Amino acid sequence: MQVNDKLVLLTGGSAGIGREIARQLHAKGAQVILTGRDPARLAAMEAEGFAVIAADLSHAGGVDALVAALGDRPIDILINNAGLGVAHDVRNSLPDPDAADGCLYANLSAPIRLITALLPRLRARPRAAIVNVTSGLAIAPNTASSVYCASKAGLRSYTMALRAQLAGEPIHVIEALPPVVDTQMTADRKTSKMPPEECARQIVAALEKGHDEANVGMVKLLRAVYSISPALARSVMRRF
C-alpha cells in the first residue's frame, strides 16, 4: 500500500514505537493524526508538525471522546498501537484487579471499539488498512506479565477473525508483533532490546508490502519454533 497522501490515525504515537512509526510515515508523505496521554510529549510531536489528540484509551469514554474529536475526517489507515503494561503475578502477593482492567481495556477493548466506530469511513475509502500492534507474547506468554500477554493474545485472535470477515473488501488487516523494544514500558528490563526506530521500520515495510503479519526481529524465530513445537515455544517463554 502506498502511504503517500494517506490520512493515518495512530494511537499511542507520542513515544516509543508509535512515535517512530509516525515519523517514518510522515517522511513518506502520509498525514498523521496521533494520540497520547502525556501533554508534554503531545506538544513535542505537535511542534514536529503532527496533528495530535489527547486520549486516554483505558476506558470506553476515552475511545468515544477520540472518535468525537476526529469529527468527519476520512481515515485511510488506522494503527492501534497504544497499549498498557501491568505486572500481574500472584506468587508473592495479590495484584491490583483495577490495574488489570485498565490494561485489558487499553490493549483489547479499545482497538475493537475504535475499529467498530471507524469501519464505515474506512470502507468509504478506495483502499484502507487496519494495523493492530500485538506482541510476540501473543504467540507464547511469559510468566510475570500474564494479563498483558492475555490482552495481546486476544487482540491477535480478533485480528485474524477480522481479516477473514473483511476478505474481499479493500481493507487490509495487518498484525504487527514486536519483540522486546527499548521503550518506557521496558525500561526496567535488562535483556537485549530492539531500537524503536528499527521496529517501526519493519512495521511500516509490512504495511507498504501488503503483508498480513509483521513478525519483527526475534519474533520471526519464535514463530518458527512455535510452528515446529508450540509446547517448546511456551516452555522457553515461561522462563522470562
Q: What is the mean pLDDT of residues 148-160?
A: 97
Q: Would you place residue 187 in the very low, low, confident or very high pLDDT band (cuts 50, 70, 90)? A: low
Q: For residue range 198-227, list pLDDT tens digits in order.
A: 999 999 999 999 999 999 988 999 999 999
86/82 Cα distance (integer angstroms): 14
With a cut of 60, say whether residue 154 has pLDDT above it: yes
Beta bridge partners of 176: 133, 214
Q: At residue 112, what is the residue type? A: I
pTM: 0.92
Residues written for the chain: 240
Round the average pLDDT of the chain to a whole number and report it: 93
For the chain, give the secondary structure using H, E and C.
Answer: CCCCCCEEEECCCCCHHHHHHHHHHHHCCCEEEEEECCHHHHHHHHHCCCEEEECCCCCHHHHHHHHHHHCCCCCCEEEECCCCCCCECCCCCCCCHHHHHHHHHHHHHHHHHHHHHHHHHHHCCCCEEEEEECCHHHCCCCCCEHHHHHHHHHHHHHHHHHHHHCCCCCEEEEEEECCCECCHHHCCCCCCCECHHHHHHHHHHHHHHCCCEEECCCHHHHHHHHHHCHHHHHHHHCCC
Beta bridge partners of 174: 131
The residue ranges of every structural domain in the chain are 7-237
Q: For residue range 87-135, list pLDDT tens digits in order.
A: 887 888 788 888 899 999 999 999 999 999 999 999 999 999 999 999 9
Residue 143, pLDDT score: 87
CA separation (Å) from 162 to 129, 131, 168, 212, 224?
12, 11, 12, 12, 24
Residue 17 C-alpha cell reads as 514505537
CA separation (Å) from 56 to 32, 104, 136, 139, 199?
18, 13, 24, 27, 24
Residue 4 C-alpha cell reads as 503517500
The domain 7-237 having CATH identifier 3.90.79.10: the answer here is no
With a cut of 80, say whether residue 182 has pLDDT above it: no
Residues known to be catalytic: 148
Do residues 76 and 116 make contact, with C-beta atoms less than 8 angstroms apart? no
Angle of the 60-70 helix axis to the 110-123 helix axis, nearest 10:
20
Q: Decide which of 78 and 185 is more confident.
A: 78
Q: What is the mean pLDDT of residues 31-58?
A: 97
19/82 Cα distance (integer angstroms): 11
207/216 Cα distance (integer angstroms): 13
